[in-house]
Amino acid sequence: MSLRGRRVIVSAGPTFEDLDPVRFIGNRSSGKMGFAVADAAARQGAEVVLVAGPVALPTPANVTRIDVRSAAQMHAAVLAALPADVYIGAAAVADFTPRAVAPGKIKKQAGMDTLVLELVRTPDILAEVAVHPRRPRLVVGFAAETDHVEQYARGKLEKKQLDLIAANRVGVAGSGFESDENALAVYGRDGFERALGPAPKIQLADNLLELISTRLG
Ligand code: C5P
C-alpha cells in the first residue's frame, strides 16, 4: 500500500512556553517518534508537512518542515497546513502556558520564598483538527501515559473524536520520550486494536504508516 498522492501533516517535538526572555516551560519530548513518522510517510510516497517544536533533529528527506516554538505557534501552523488526508499529532503540546510573557527577566527579591505563575489552557490542536470543517480523513493522536495506558488512550480517542490513537508508556527505561526504541498500542474508534513493537522508532513509524495507508484504502 502506498501513500502516493496523499498529503500528511505531522506535528512533533515539545513546545516551549516562554515565561520571560530567558526562561520557558518545556517537556521531555525529543521529537524522535514524530520525525520518524514524517520520514516513514515521505518514504511511502506522501507529501509531508512536519510542524516541529524546538528539537535538534535533521529534517527527513522530502519533508517540508515548519519550525515553531509555542503551542500557539504550533496551533496556527497546523491549521494553516490544512487540508490534508491525514493528521498525525505526535507532538507533546503544553497544556498550559503563562498568561503573560514578562518583558524583562523575572528577578528574585530578598525574602521571596515562592513564586506563583498563572497559567492558562492552550488550544487542543488535535481535538480541533478532528472537528474542523476541513477535517482530514484520518486523525491520529498519540498518548504518552505513565499508568492506565489503555484506559486513558481510549478515553482520548473518544473525547477528541480521533480515528486512531497510538499509546505508549512513558517513565520506564528503554521506551517513550528520549529513547530510540518504543512500543505502541494502537486503538481505533471502530474497535481496532494492534500492538506494535517494542522496536526502534523508525520501524514502529513504518508499521504505523502502513496501518494508516491500509485504512485510507
Ligand atoms: O490530552 P493529551 O495531551 O494527553 O493528548 C495527547 C494528544 O493530543 C497528542 O496527540 C498531542 O499531540 C495532542 N495535543 C494537542 N494539543 C494540545 C494537547 C495535546 O494537539 N494542546
Asked about 27 being catalytic, the answer comes back as yes
Choose, from 27, 168, 182, 207, the residue flagged as catalytic. Answer: 27
Asked whether 201 lines ligand 1 (CB < 6 A), one says: no
Ligand 1 atom 2, closest CA: 143
User: What's residue 176's pLDDT?
Assistant: 65
Asked whether 53 lines ligand 1 (CB < 6 A), one says: no
Whether the per-residue pLDDT at 19 is higher than 70: the answer is yes
Q: Which three cell numbers stand for residue 66?
A: 515548519
User: What's residue 173's pLDDT?
Assistant: 64
Whole-structure pTM value: 0.95
User: What's residue 182's pLDDT?
Assistant: 87
The mean pLDDT of 27-40, rounded to a whole number, is 96
The mean pLDDT of 176-191, rounded to a whole number, is 86
Q: Which atom of ligand 1 is nearest to the CA of 91?
A: 12
Running DSSP on this structure, what letter comes out for residue 121? E
Confidence of residue 169 (pLDDT cuts 50, 70, 90): confident
99 vs 171: which has the higher pLDDT: 99
The mean pLDDT of 160-172, rounded to a whole number, is 90
- What's the 124 CA to ligand 1 centre distance in angstroms? 6
**pLDDT tens figures, 204-213:** 999 999 999 9
Whether the per-residue pLDDT at 178 is higher than 80: the answer is no
Distance between CA atoms of 44 and 156, rounded to whole angstroms? 28
> Is the CB of residue 138 less than 8 Å from the CB of residue 85?
yes
ipTM attached to this prediction: 0.97
Residue with cell 518542515: 65
| DSSP assignment string, 37-93 | HHHHHHHTT-EEEEEE-S---PPPTTEEEEE--SHHHHHHHHHHH---SEEEE--B-
Whether the per-residue pLDDT at 150 is higher than 90: the answer is yes
Residue 27: name the closest of 36, 14, 13 by CA: 14
The mean pLDDT of 21-40, rounded to a whole number, is 96
Residue with cell 484506559: 151
Whether the per-residue pLDDT at 175 is higher than 80: the answer is no
Pocket test for ligand 1, best of 79, 93, 96, 149 (most atoms within 8 A of CB): 93
Asked whether 67 lines ligand 1 (CB < 6 A), one says: no
Confidence of residue 50 (pLDDT cuts 50, 70, 90): very high
- Secondary structure class of 168 (helix, strand, coil): strand
User: What's residue 146's pLDDT?
Assistant: 87
**pLDDT tens figures, 88-104:** 999 999 999 999 999 99
Whether the per-residue pLDDT at 1 is higher than 80: the answer is no
> What domains can you pick out in the chain, each with its CATH number?
7-98+118-216 (3.40.50.10300)
Pocket test for ligand 1, best of 125, 149, 169 (most atoms within 8 A of CB): 125
Q: Which atom of ligand 1 is nearest to the CA of 78?
A: 20
User: What's residue 170's pLDDT?
Assistant: 78
Confidence of residue 180 (pLDDT cuts 50, 70, 90): confident
